[in-house]
A and B are shown apart, each in its own frame.
Chain A
Amino acid sequence: MEYKDYYDIMGVSKEATQDEIKRAYRKLARKYHPDVSKEQDAEKKFKEVGEAYEVLKDPEKRAAYDQLGANWQAGQDFRPPPDWDAGFEFSGGGYTQGDSAAFSDFFESLFGQRGFRGAGMGAGSGAGFQMRGEDHHAKILIDLEDAYKGTTRTISLRVPEVDAQGHVRTRERTLNVRIPKGVHQGQQIRLAGQGAPGLGSGPQGDLYLEVEFNPHSFYRVESRDIFLELPVAPWEAALGAKVKAPTPDGTVDLSIPPDSKAGRKLRLKGRGIPGKTPGDLYVILQIALPPANTEKAKELYTKMQQELAFNPRAGLGV
């Protein structure tokens, strides 16, 4: 297990006041919030910051963490010293409303089990009591092509469970899930009865999977529509041509109308993500210039220069 430097993660000094820590957290949380952030690894960073704040915002946990000593380096192999937390009392459940399953092993070893013991649901609480299990949420990454054909994915989820001694353990749960075709970015897939077990004879909750596409090297996805930037030769754009264009569903023949300009958008109706109302595929033309790296090419460019009265900057008045 690696030691985590919570102060470093929050970008504050060890002497930071509680107010400074709160301000640092708010700023980082806005920056990395997975719903709004476009940063890479936003979700991972957001969880890290959340975990650091979980400890540093609570003077009791912060004091306990501080007395581990200042000599630890982030990433260093770490074992909590025995009785490291003797003399500290954690009031209120150690786990918070936060997504406790997302916290690191490091956090777990320090605060996880102890905190939960007090707050855990007593065994056999209230005979006959029943409640539907909680709904769970997870993210699933698929390829764009999978949305066209449907796919089956094996996913592993870490589920926190309370064992007979009242300790929290995370258990790996593996599910094979069929992803229906026509799913798009940000959509949820509901798996009935795959959430948390119910209490008493209450039914099991549902599992929701939020779909996210792996970034694609040449397609861009917006809702059901797909965008593709297609390079064409100057003569194809000028004279019109039939060219091949890739789609997630296979190669298609595409007619380029004569006198096309760079940036021209061609719509392939219904070639986006399939569904009752299928999306469209937009091809945006990009004019690729042949390099003038041979005598022949230079000669052709020179000929165009001499014979075509063409001023690309006419619209700028120069």
Chain B
Amino acid sequence: MSEKVLTGLIVNEDMTLTLAELSRACCVHAEWIVALVDEGILEPQGNVRTGWCFSGPSLRRARIAVHLQQDLGVNLAGAALVLDLMEELESLRRQVPFPGRET
């Protein structure tokens, strides 16, 4: 075992990924990422595909969409709906900070 300490880079809003980087990180073909963009699941900056820049949080969205499709057989429209509902759920959870606890 090596004692070397590796330093990671946080994939956040400040970091962008290219189409190639995002496809690799999700282990899918670039066409699949393009399909996510066409479906409105991902919204890259830039007009031409080769110049697309995806924000850090796109990685999580794209990976969830990949998992939903591979594991549950959800199609792209379904994955888009699930992602939107998950976002809504998260924002509702923010408003109810301690669900199930008596105040």
Which residues of A does B touch, CB under 8 Å?
A: 26, 29-30, 33-36, 46, 50, 97, 132, 134-135, 137, 152, 174-180, 182-183, 186-192, 194, 205-206, 208-210, 220, 222-223, 225, 227, 229, 262-263, 275-276, 282, 284, 286
User: Which of B7-15, B29-37, B41-49 is the interface stretch?
Assistant: B7-15
A225/B94 in contact, CB under 8 A = yes
Given contacts A26-B72, A186-B60, A178 and B6 within 8 Å (CB-CB): yes
B10/A182 in contact, CB under 8 A = yes
The contact sample of 15 A-B pairs, CB cut-off 8 A, is A46-B71, A135-B27, A175-B6, A176-B6, A177-B5, A180-B7, A187-B11, A208-B11, A208-B59, A209-B8, A222-B94, A229-B97, A229-B103, A263-B103, A284-B97
Size category of the binding interface on chain B? 35 or more
Q: Provide the bound-state CA to CA distance between A206 and B26, in Å.
A: 11
Q: In the complex, which of the residues B11, B56, B73 has the most CB atoms of chain A within 10 Å of its own CB atom?
A: B11
User: With a CB–CB cut-off of 8 A, which chain A residues contact B11?
Assistant: 187-190, 208
A188/B59 in contact, CB under 8 A = yes
Given contacts A35-B64, A208-B25, A229-B98, A180 and B70 within 8 Å (CB-CB): no
Picked from A29, A182, A206, A262, the residue with its CB within 8 Å of the CB of B72 is A29
Q: B73 — nearest CB in chain A belongs to which residue? A: A26
Q: Would you give the 0/1 interface string for B62-83, flagging 1 where the beta carbon is closer than 8 Å to chain A? A: 0110011011110000000010
Given contacts A135-B24, A276-B14, A33 and B6 within 8 Å (CB-CB): no
Q: Provide the bound-state CA to CA distance between A192 and B64, in Å.
A: 22
B4/A176 in contact, CB under 8 A = yes
Q: Provide the bound-state CA to CA distance between A183 and B93, in Å.
A: 20
User: With a CB–CB cut-off of 8 A, which chain A residues contact B63?
Assistant: 137
A282/B97 in contact, CB under 8 A = yes
